[in-house]
Amino acid sequence: MPTNRQVLLDNRPEGEAVASNFKVVSVDTPALTEGQVLVRHHYLSLDPYMRGRMNESKSYAASQPLGEVMIGGTVGEVVESQHPKYQVGDQVVGMGGWQEYSVVNANEPGALRKADTTHVPLSYYLGAVGMPGVTAWYGLVKIIEPKEGETMVVSAATGAVGSAFAALAKARGCRVVGIAGGPEKCAYAVAELGYDACIDYREHKDMYSLSKALKEACPKGIDGYFENVGGMIMDAVMLRMNAFARVALCGMIAGYNGEPLAMANPALLLINRVKLEGFIVSEHMEVWGEAMKELGTLVAMGKLKPRETVSQGIESAPEAFLGLLKGKNFGKQLVKLI
């Protein structure tokens, strides 16, 4: 059995996460028992939600245990199998974590699924046609429920979720405006991802300045908003909301280091009769099949062109993750393991 390099959570962050919170170790891969498969990971997914798991505080999911492999989505291939449904060479998607190999109990529902790479590259199953893509689909389709001609806005516009959100909303005849960090990302959002406009939040020092830019980009106001960031950006969007607007609350990355995120004008929720719903996509597995079918079709048709930032080797995962939290990535952040 191969030696397996892993990244563990060694200690919890005090404020901002740092590389010394993690530890790289090498372990022997255990022999398989009946019903198990050994997966060699090709790519590891890095996602903002992982930062919240590093804290020892109440949240929607259990904290990442100290001394254990960091949680994370993976894609790879079966290299040994003791399960009749999985053969050596099968390409699969799972939650193998920050490590080069994983031993998976394939009898557990949802523990592993096969990936069809005929029209969709394997890495996309961690982004556009994976959890981030389904997250965008659920927030748009089930919470915002867009109507043709409405204006949709999404923060973190060029990330894995934002990229999928834009394609899905444009397919429904909406005007789509993104918020991203830096002129390069904003130019890419319009030229490659199909956004009607994209606002560089770094050009604005406060919510009023950003809100003015939103007014220009959204002359008919905002009907639907997909929130990934919170803080000043959310406050600016709230100032431009139409009556009966809908907000899909997916992430609050501005507060992942532990600082409280106060809302500047909560009365606007009442004044505009806004529907705001937080959600965790893993609690809605019933929609994954429908969502992935549409996302895969958009990729195959060239209407969803996700971008990836790829770091090399398991030892690069901590620094790549810290860069993701600061917006240094462009599109989906991955770690290539082979």
Complete DSSP assignment for 145-165: ---TT-EEEEESTTSHHHHHH
β-pair type (222-227, 151-155): parallel
Residue 49 has pLDDT above 80, yes or no: yes
Q: Are residues 148 and 198 in the same domain?
A: yes
- Provide the domain count of the chain: 2
Q: Which ranges of 81-182 does DSSP label H, i.e. alpha helix?
A: 131-138, 160-171
Q: Are residues 117 and 155 in the same domain?
A: no
- Tell me the CATH number at 68: 3.90.180.10
Q: What percent of the chain has pLDDT over 90?
A: 89
Q: Are residues 90 and 166 in the same domain?
A: no
Q: Are residues 135 and 270 in the same domain?
A: yes
Q: Which residues span the domain enclosing 119?
A: 3-127+306-336
d(Cα 125, Cα 90) in Å, to the nearest integer?
A: 14
Q: Are residues 268 and 321 in the same domain?
A: no
Q: Are residues 111 and 158 in the same domain?
A: no
Residue 297 within any structural domain of the chain:
no
| pLDDT given for residue 246 in this prediction | 98
Residue 24 has pLDDT above 80, yes or no: yes
- Tell me the CATH number at 158: 3.40.50.720
Q: Are residues 200 and 72 in the same domain?
A: no
Nearest residue to 80 (alpha-carbon basis) of 121, 126, 30, 45? 30
The two structure tokens encoding residue 99 = 């490590």
The pLDDT of 23-43, averaged and rounded, is: 97
Instruction: State pTM to two decimals.
Output: 0.90
